[in-house]
Structure 1
């Protein structure tokens, strides 16, 4: 199957508009329509319903979507591996959920890079369920997550902890005042939600609920408020006096886990990276 047809299918799905997809792909709108008709003809099904400007996936289109994404990623990685082979190198793919990237993985990438020599790294972020699926489909070598996946094919190990502290744009706030608002709740995984629920028994709904810590940090810096953030991520704002620790607020620790296939092709290399990522608690901020 022509991968360009799959690229076009995914772009039309993303834009929900043939004209916008054509602009993004540097094609004419008729060329985009022709590619979609080609793909539908090859599969023998309609992939989109078209009602004026309202373009939606059919049931068949919904079923094709994850396969199209997987095929394009696999093709991209195959091309990279073949290109790297000419330089006697290998590529290792490491991904993390979004809230592990900023305070943890991004800071460790230089250490990994310097240690691996001729190994080429690929680093991305994705939701936890996508990371697990990519591991099982062998499109990913190592995933970093807060909640360890309970999948028989995967080897899971604890790499360390991320310490979260309640910080506020206002000085001298106590725990009760900080949680009354304005408060931004960050999704730090299942165990955090359990501890957080015990802490805030009758709290007003959060002003903002986000799965990305950087969004919470920027929001409370711009508009005021409180949020549980990693010490490392909030460090600069704390030093400059733009944020302040909330008195009496307990720290909440979140374990970081590394997961990979038990029969992974590069298991020795993965073990080495896990050792690099494992370190004293202070270095995991």
Structure 2
């Protein structure tokens, strides 16, 4: 199957237009049409529904899209690995959830540069479900995920847990119903279930944001409240810029490390895992550290 035909398919899907796709790919519109026609001929079915204002994927196109995307990503990964210089032993790819990107990637890279200079690295930041998909497709070697899923040939271990606490721009106590300015942060199904059990009278939220950073910015600039990670808000609580809501339940967010079984015992992957566990954030919130703390406290 021709890679350029797949690129044309993805570009038309994104833009919804053969003309815009041709502009982005720097080829003629007739070339885009020819590539899509060749792809449809090879699959023996049409992939797009033609509309007055452009095109959209039909049912066949929707089914084919993730496979086309996977092929392109695999091709790009292969190009990168084949082009590695001779002094590089191999490449390891890590996926980090968007909520924890800024807390982990820089320290992990520093550790890898210092302790595994012969290993090339590729880091991807995305939502947990997408990282698991990339891992399943072989496009990642390891990933940090919120909610482990039963996927063949993937090994999980708990990496760290930390509290999610309800904070507000003004001192207040928890009340019934939804407080004005409350922002629901999408921490995943694990958090959603805990939240629904604790606040059954609040099934819907006026403001829902995908990222913790977005909610924090909104609260600091315009006021409000949200469940945020303790590691994020601790300095702001100490500075008096945020306040923990009195009487509000603390939730726990557990992050697991998912590793492809066929890469688990490779030296460079073991180095990558060692580097993750050596980062200051994991050292503070890691599962082993929490076990030690509980032992010291007699729990």
What CA distance in whole angstroms lies between the structure 1 residues aligned with 2:214 and 2:25? Answer: 30
SS of the aligned residue for 2:84 comes to helix
After superposition, the Cα gap between the structure-2 partners of 1:24 and 1:224, relative to the gap in structure 1 and judged at 3 Å, is: farther
Partner of 1:253: 252
Partner of 2:73: 73
In the alignment, structure 1 segments of 5+ residues that lack a partner are none
Are the aligned partners of 1:95 and 1:131 in contact in 2 as well (CA < 8 Å)? Answer: yes
What CA distance in whole angstroms lies between the structure 1 residues aligned with 2:32 and 2:142? Answer: 36
SS of the aligned residue for 1:24 comes to helix
Superposition pairs of residues 40-79 of structure 1, within 5 angstroms: 40-79=40-79
Alpha-carbon shift at residue 203 of structure 1 (Å):
3.0
In the alignment, structure 2 segments of 5+ residues that lack a partner are 288-299
Deviation per CA, 1:244-263, whole angstroms, max 9, x where unpaired?
33233343221110011222
What CA distance in whole angstroms lies between the structure 2 residues aligned with 1:204 and 1:217? Answer: 22
Alpha-carbon shift at residue 162 of structure 1 (Å):
2.9
Alpha-carbon shift at residue 93 of structure 1 (Å):
0.7
Partner of 1:158: 158
Deviating more after overlay: 154-163 vs 69-78: 154-163
What CA distance in whole angstroms lies between the structure 2 residues aligned with 1:237 and 1:32? Answer: 53
- The normalised TM-score by structure 2 is 0.83
Alpha-carbon shift at residue 105 of structure 1 (Å):
4.4
Deviating more after overlay: 12-21 vs 97-106: 97-106
Are the aligned partners of 1:181 and 1:204 in contact in 2 as well (CA < 8 Å)? Answer: no
Deviating more after overlay: 122-131 vs 152-161: 122-131
Deviation per CA, 1:37-96, whole angstroms, max 9, x where unpaired?
232233332111111114111222122211111111111111111111534331111013
CA RMSD of aligned residues (A): 2.7
Deviating more after overlay: 159-168 vs 19-28: 19-28
After superposition, the Cα gap between the structure-2 partners of 1:172 and 1:133, relative to the gap in structure 1 and judged at 3 Å, is: closer
Partner of 2:211: 212
Deviating more after overlay: 208-217 vs 96-105: 96-105
| Matched positions, count | 283
SS of the aligned residue for 1:149 comes to coil
Superposition pairs of residues 208-247 of structure 1, within 5 angstroms: 208-235=207-234, 237-238=236-237, 241-247=240-246
- The normalised TM-score by structure 1 is 0.86
Deviation per CA, 1:182-209, whole angstroms, max 9, x where unpaired?
1111122333222222322323732222
Are the aligned partners of 1:10 and 1:68 in contact in 2 as well (CA < 8 Å)? Answer: yes
What CA distance in whole angstroms lies between the structure 1 residues aligned with 2:276 and 2:153? Answer: 22
Superposition pairs of residues 85-100 of structure 1, within 5 angstroms: 85-100=85-100
